[in-house]
Chain A
Amino acid sequence: MGSRSSRAAVIPDVDSIRRETGFSQASLLRLYQRFRALDRSEKGYLSRMDLQQIGALAVNPLGDRIIDSFFPDGSQRVDFSGFVRVLAYFRPIEDEDTGIRDSKQPEPLNSRMNKLRFAFQLYDLDRDGKISRQEMLQVLRLMVGVQVTEEQLESIADRTVQEADEDGDGAVSFLEFTKSLEKMNIEQKMSIRILK
């Protein structure tokens, strides 16, 4: 690993990234290599089309939205720290994280709440903090095959919002979203093993 550490110095702002995301040195290095491999024209940042060239994303029904999540606030470029920040949400939750963290520090990116927030933003395109019925319908449409008719989709969307909506405003807020998923093992579902 000796030769590796000398290369770590090449990563810009490596220490602040480490602190913010909690990745290990080795993981960061690998992510940096991946970043550079994706950045074919060596611009130093990734644009949407770089991510679109990942073939497997093209056949992912949520491919567009996943790519969008790398570009918050409408920016067109994502540098390495932004790239890693998104991936940090998918770091597996270790037991050490939950124990020693003191309450004054911000929650680590890969906490359950933050993972849920990340998933929430995939639904909530207009960022109003609520998943409207329309947004739910759009997501459904993305994820379901062509055999399902529009009426069926609409009734499913209705039902979905209805199940989660507690205050009756016809939309699912983040808290309602969290509540509806409280039984699910989010920590495992939204963690990628290789991102230690």
Chain B
Amino acid sequence: MDLQMFVTLSPGNWLLLLVALECSEASSDLNKPANPTAQHTPNARFAAASSEPDERISVFELDYDYVQIPYEVTLWILLASLAKIGFHLYHRLPHLMPESCLLILVGVLVGAIIFGTDHKSPPVMDSSIYFLYLLPPIVLEGGYFMPTRPFFENLGSILWWAGLGSLVNAFGIGLSLYLVCQVQAFGLGDVNLLQNLLFGSLISAVDPAAVLAVFEEARVNEQLYLIIFGEALLNDGISVVLYNILIAFTKMHKFEDIEAVDILAGCARFVIVGVGGVLFGVVFGFISAFITRFTQNISAIEPLIVFMFSYLSYLAAETLYLSGILAITACAVTMKKYVEENVSQKSYTTIKYFMKMLSSVSETLIFIFMGVSTVGKNHEWNWAFICFTLVFCQIWRAISVFALFYVSNQFRTFPFSIKDQCIIFYSGVRGAGSFSLAFLLPLSLFPRKKMFVTATLVVIYFTTFIQGITIGPLVRYLDVKKTNKKESINEELHIRLMDHLKAGIEDVCGHWSHYQVRDKFKKFDHRYLRKILIRKNLPKSSIVSLYKKLEMKQAIEMVETGILSSTAFSVPQQAQRIQGIKRLSPEDVESMRDILTRNMYQVRQRTPSYNKYNLKPQTSEKQAKEILIRRQNTFRESRKGHSLPWGKPAGTKNIRYLSFPYGHPQSAGGDSGAAEFTDDDSSDPGLPFIKFSTPSQTGSLQKRRRMQEAIPMKSLHGGGKAFNSGYQRNASQEGAVGGGRRAASRPKPLFHVVDEEYESGGESEQESLAAGSRWTADRGDSREHDKSHSPLLQRK
């Protein structure tokens, strides 16, 4: 596997390696024994220059020390990025192993280079760098991309599992290892209980989100996904809190003096640290949301505000020895909802991408450090300790999973099956967090630190590679009992149809949750919080034009690819084909199957897809747009023949369909005539309506007439002024759901058919603004599926 991956690295990569080698060679020559910090080198340079005034000015000089640290850091990050590109080029690879495997390998490679070139000052991570710079972006990203609604619905289970699970794991592993250390034969007698407990706490810091990407194929249900994600999120915080408390204990020099009161104080501190951190985070979240309310004129600093406030919450919490991790998580969660509505679309995208980038950089650097410390001479290998660590990690995770879920299943409406629990157990992959904590153990208190580090590394490598690679097949095995290798085209089509059907019915059913608490919060939110935190009069005029642009572009493309031309749907030719049933060769069948597989629309995933290392490309939006455009045209076709309810014939004017018209399902569109709508309105560059001819359907004429009556005048005219020209088609349609939910507060339905005659030219733009703003304001309230990537159509 490794060889294969190296082969896929581009030649540019090799060049980079050579360059890196050269530079480190050069640096080892130029390096002074003293620590070459940036401050020394300028002085050295000036000193050297001034002390030899009669030397010729050299045309070419090499000064590596000056740039060493940023240069090397940049090279590493670049190397990791190139490796990732290579990783994704071979498209099957991301499904086979998690990306953290790749990062570890890159780290090992860099470590090997540094070791091999005998670098005089290898990179060293110290406690302040890790806790102040490397950790916050990772945690922030986790908190920001968490889907809030499902998270809060499952909050009890998640807290129960993440919190208690970490504690059980930590103490379990620690105590078991202590018992092992008592055995004289292993030579571990000098590792006392406290050190073992500390080791247990750091080794129980799992990073299961790293394997989430491998699950994508197997349809993991939302609850399972949430539990894994929630655990990844909270686990870091809890481990660090525990770690700090135990370090504090260790620092008390007289171990024998630890009394019950100290232990109680420790527990109390645990709770206070956790809760205090969360409160800090929430406060900062609200403050930053409030500030973004006023930034409409300088939208360029909006990302800055978001990041700075999150970071500030972390630092402020750390000042008071509260849990910075939990603070920054809570800040991200609180802030997200309001900030997303306030900031401009570009800022929103910037925030998302920048967050991903920062966390990616942090993680890469940590893995580099890990690689460097792997390939080195500072190991202490103790067979017993390491093997038992591995064994106990698995055993205790299994115990905690099955025991804790057994209890929590009693209280859940939808209990986790044994299959789910197995998946949760198996996803206990350790990551960068454990390594960092192990690496930062103070040597003075831990004379056998090297052994701990080695053991941690072994666990990380084992779990990441072995569990990471095999979890995919395991999930698929658990999910699909029989694998039909060769599905006939029939089956493929029907399977996909049923998937769509199931997804559709699930959408009809909606989300079931504990309504009371959520409703109360929503009411509170709506009445107070939103008034304070959300901007008024969101000027989203460019939403309308953006929609039109997108729609136009897409429609043009569709026409150009010939799909929607009038010949495509012509009926008469098909009569001849019924006679000739061709004998198809296997290759034809194969190619047909290929066509089907590649081109059938994907089933809409209800679970938000989170990928730790990447923001998913927006293929689903493209698909949604296509579907919507097609359906819009068939709607228009079916409406064409009838008069609109308020009594004007449709054909005589330019009807601009700015949203979904009510009611005509495809089967009722019996119009065989071509509908031609041209938009002559020069004031508003509307859509060029493309000429379509519908297939003649077998739907009866009566059905059509009945459709007509189905539109009650009341809802179209609701509120007096029923006509808005806001073009509000939304691929993710979250606003529509909001319309469905809030009967009382919105007398006007969100979507109308607009009749151009009723608008005056000047009003149209204004009304579109109003509609746009209302729509976007509604959107946040009614967000059902908190997708991590908001589709482009949704915002400015």
Q: Are B667 and A68 in contact (CB under 8 A)?
A: yes
Q: Are A53 and B482 in contact (CB under 8 A)?
A: no
Residue from A42, A56, A76, A186 in contact with B709 in the complex, judged by beta carbons closer than 8 Å: A76
Q: Are B505 and A143 in contact (CB under 8 A)?
A: no
Q: Are A56 and B601 in contact (CB under 8 A)?
A: no
- Which B residues lie within 8 Å of A150 (CB)? 568-569
Q: Are A61 and B601 in contact (CB under 8 A)?
A: yes
- Which A residues lie within 8 Å of B599 (CB)? 144-145, 147-148
Which of the candidate stretches A14-22, A101-109, A134-142 sits at the interface with the other chain? A134-142
Q: Are B509 and A87 in contact (CB under 8 A)?
A: yes
CB of A74 to closest CB in B, whole Å: 6
A159–B561 CA distance with the chains assembled, in angstroms: 25
- Produce 1/0 per residue, A115-142, CB < 8 A to B: 0000100110110000001100111101
Q: Are B740 and A54 in contact (CB under 8 A)?
A: yes
Which of the candidate stretches B389-397, B487-495, B676-684 sits at the interface with the other chain? B487-495
Q: Are A60 and B706 in contact (CB under 8 A)?
A: no
Task: Tell me if B384 counts as interface (CB < 8 A to partner A).
Answer: no
List A67-113 residues whose CB lies under 8 Å from chain B: 67-68, 74, 76, 86-87, 90
Q: Are B489 and A159 in contact (CB under 8 A)?
A: yes
CB of B445 to closest CB in A, whole Å: 50
Q: Are B737 and A55 in contact (CB under 8 A)?
A: yes
Known: A64-B667, A87-B509. Contact between A37 and B732, CB under 8 A?
no
Task: Tell me if B660 counts as interface (CB < 8 A to partner A).
Answer: yes
- Which A residues lie within 8 Å of B94 (CB)? none
CB of B620 to closest CB in A, whole Å: 8
Task: Tell me if B107 counts as interface (CB < 8 A to partner A).
Answer: no
Report the count of interface residues on A (CB-CB < 8 A).
79
A142–B631 CA distance with the chains assembled, in angstroms: 9
Q: Are B736 and A55 in contact (CB under 8 A)?
A: yes
CB of A114 to closest CB in B, whole Å: 14
Task: Tell me if A62 counts as interface (CB < 8 A to partner B).
Answer: yes
- Which B residues lie within 8 Å of A146 (CB)? 558, 561, 563-564, 626
Task: Tell me if A160 counts as interface (CB < 8 A to partner B).
Answer: yes
Q: Are A139 and B497 in contact (CB under 8 A)?
A: yes
Known: A59-B628, A76-B710, A145-B600. Contact between A90 and B505, CB under 8 A?
yes
Q: Are B490 and A143 in contact (CB under 8 A)?
A: no
A57–B666 CA distance with the chains assembled, in angstroms: 14
Smallest CB-CB separation from B510: which chain A residue? A34
Task: Tell me if B574 counts as interface (CB < 8 A to partner A).
Answer: yes
Smallest CB-CB separation from A46: which chain B residue? B508
Known: A59-B627, A61-B601. Contact between A125 and B698, CB under 8 A?
yes
- Which B residues lie within 8 Å of A55 (CB)? 730, 732-737, 784
CB of B562 to closest CB in A, whole Å: 8
Q: Are B490 and A163 in contact (CB under 8 A)?
A: yes
- Which A residues lie within 8 Å of B271 (CB)? none
Task: Tell me if A180 counts as interface (CB < 8 A to partner B).
Answer: yes
Task: Tell me if A8 counts as interface (CB < 8 A to partner B).
Answer: no
Q: Are A58 and B660 in contact (CB under 8 A)?
A: yes
A139–B666 CA distance with the chains assembled, in angstroms: 11
A148–B698 CA distance with the chains assembled, in angstroms: 24
List B187-245 residues whose CB lies under 8 Å from chain A: 221
Which of the candidate stretches B293-301, B329-337, B576-584 sits at the interface with the other chain? B576-584
- Produce 1/0 per residue, B754-796, CB < 8 A to A: 0000000000000000000000000000001100000000000
Known: A52-B662, A65-B666, A158-B582. Contact between A57 and B504, CB under 8 A?
yes
A87–B581 CA distance with the chains assembled, in angstroms: 39
- Which B residues lie within 8 Å of A122 (CB)? 497, 501
CB of B667 to closest CB in A, whole Å: 6
Known: A64-B631, A145-B623, A154-B577. Contact between A49 and B711, CB under 8 A?
yes
A65–B666 CA distance with the chains assembled, in angstroms: 8
Task: Tell me if B743 counts as interface (CB < 8 A to partner A).
Answer: yes
Smallest CB-CB separation from B634: which chain A residue? A64
- Which A residues lie within 8 Å of B709 (CB)? 76
Residue from B561, B604, B662 in contact with A56 in the complex, judged by beta carbons closer than 8 Å: B604
Which of the candidate stretches B78-86, B141-149, B467-475, B589-597 sits at the interface with the other chain? B589-597
A104–B751 CA distance with the chains assembled, in angstroms: 49
Q: Most chain-B Cβ atoms within 10 A of its Cβ — which of A86, A159, A170, A190?
A: A159
Q: Are B666 and A64 in contact (CB under 8 A)?
A: yes
Q: Are B504 and A62 in contact (CB under 8 A)?
A: yes
A149–B493 CA distance with the chains assembled, in angstroms: 17
- Which B residues lie within 8 Å of A74 (CB)? 702-703, 706
Q: Are B495 and A59 in contact (CB under 8 A)?
A: no
Residue from A53, A66, A181 in contact with B504 in the complex, judged by beta carbons closer than 8 Å: A66
Known: A53-B737, A194-B512. Contact between A119 and B497, CB under 8 A?
yes
A125–B627 CA distance with the chains assembled, in angstroms: 20
Q: Are A59 and B604 in contact (CB under 8 A)?
A: yes
Task: Tell me if B665 counts as interface (CB < 8 A to partner A).
Answer: yes
Known: A48-B663, A58-B736, A163-B488. Contact between A37 and B741, CB under 8 A?
yes
- Produce 1/0 per residue, B498-514, CB < 8 A to A: 11111111111110100
Q: Are B600 and A60 in contact (CB under 8 A)?
A: no
Smallest CB-CB separation from A192: which chain B residue? B506
Q: Are B601 and A144 in contact (CB under 8 A)?
A: yes
List B579-626 residues whose CB lies under 8 Å from chain A: 581-582, 584, 588-589, 592, 595-596, 599-601, 604, 623-624, 626
- Which B residues lie within 8 Å of A59 (CB)? 604, 623-624, 627-628, 731-733
Task: Tell me if B95 counts as interface (CB < 8 A to partner A).
Answer: no
Known: A56-B785, A57-B507, A146-B561. Contact between A160 and B497, CB under 8 A?
no
List B103-122 residues whose CB lies under 8 Å from chain A: none
Q: Are A192 and B596 in contact (CB under 8 A)?
A: no
- Which B residues lie within 8 Å of A133 (CB)? 574, 578
Residue from B488, B496, B504, B698 in contact with A63 in the complex, judged by beta carbons closer than 8 Å: B504
Q: Are B737 and A61 in contact (CB under 8 A)?
A: no
CB of A26 to closest CB in B, whole Å: 8
Task: Tell me if B184 counts as interface (CB < 8 A to partner A).
Answer: no
- Which B residues lie within 8 Å of A42 (CB)? 743
Q: Are B490 and A48 in contact (CB under 8 A)?
A: no
A156–B628 CA distance with the chains assembled, in angstroms: 24
Q: Are B710 and A164 in contact (CB under 8 A)?
A: no
Q: Are B493 and A41 in contact (CB under 8 A)?
A: no
Q: Are A148 and B595 in contact (CB under 8 A)?
A: yes
CB of A50 to closest CB in B, whole Å: 7
Residue from B481, B497, B503 in contact with A143 in the complex, judged by beta carbons closer than 8 Å: B497
Residue from B626, B702, B735, B737 in contact with A145 in the complex, judged by beta carbons closer than 8 Å: B626
Q: Are B489 and A48 in contact (CB under 8 A)?
A: no
A55–B751 CA distance with the chains assembled, in angstroms: 11
Task: Tell me if B646 counts as interface (CB < 8 A to partner A).
Answer: no
Q: Are A41 and B494 in contact (CB under 8 A)?
A: no
Known: A138-B695, A159-B589. Contact between A48 and B501, CB under 8 A?
no
Task: Tell me if B515 counts as interface (CB < 8 A to partner A).
Answer: yes
CB of B367 to closest CB in A, whole Å: 38
Q: Are A58 and B667 in contact (CB under 8 A)?
A: no
List B720-753 residues whose CB lies under 8 Å from chain A: 730-737, 739-741, 743, 749, 751
* Listed A/B pairs (5) with beta-carbon separation below 8 Å: A48-B663, A60-B507, A76-B709, A125-B698, A163-B488
A-B complex: 3 closest residue pairs judged by Cβ atoms: A55-B733, A55-B736, A56-B507
Sample of 19 further A-B pairs with CB below 8 A, known A66-B508, A125-B698: A38-B740, A41-B714, A56-B604, A58-B660, A61-B601, A66-B504, A68-B665, A119-B497, A122-B497, A143-B600, A145-B600, A145-B623, A149-B562, A180-B494, A181-B490, A189-B499, A192-B502, A194-B506, A194-B512
Residues of B bordering A, CB below 8 Å:
221, 414, 481-482, 484, 488-491, 493-510, 512, 515, 558, 561-564, 568-569, 574, 577-578, 581-582, 584, 588-589, 592, 595-596, 599-601, 604, 623-624, 626-628, 631, 660, 662-663, 665-667, 695, 697-699, 702-703, 706-707, 709-712, 714-715, 730-737, 739-741, 743, 749, 751, 784-785
Residues of A bordering B, CB below 8 Å:
30-31, 33-34, 37-38, 40-42, 47-68, 74, 76, 86-87, 90, 119, 122-123, 125-126, 133-134, 137-140, 142-150, 152, 154-156, 158-160, 162-164, 170, 180-181, 183-186, 189-190, 192-195
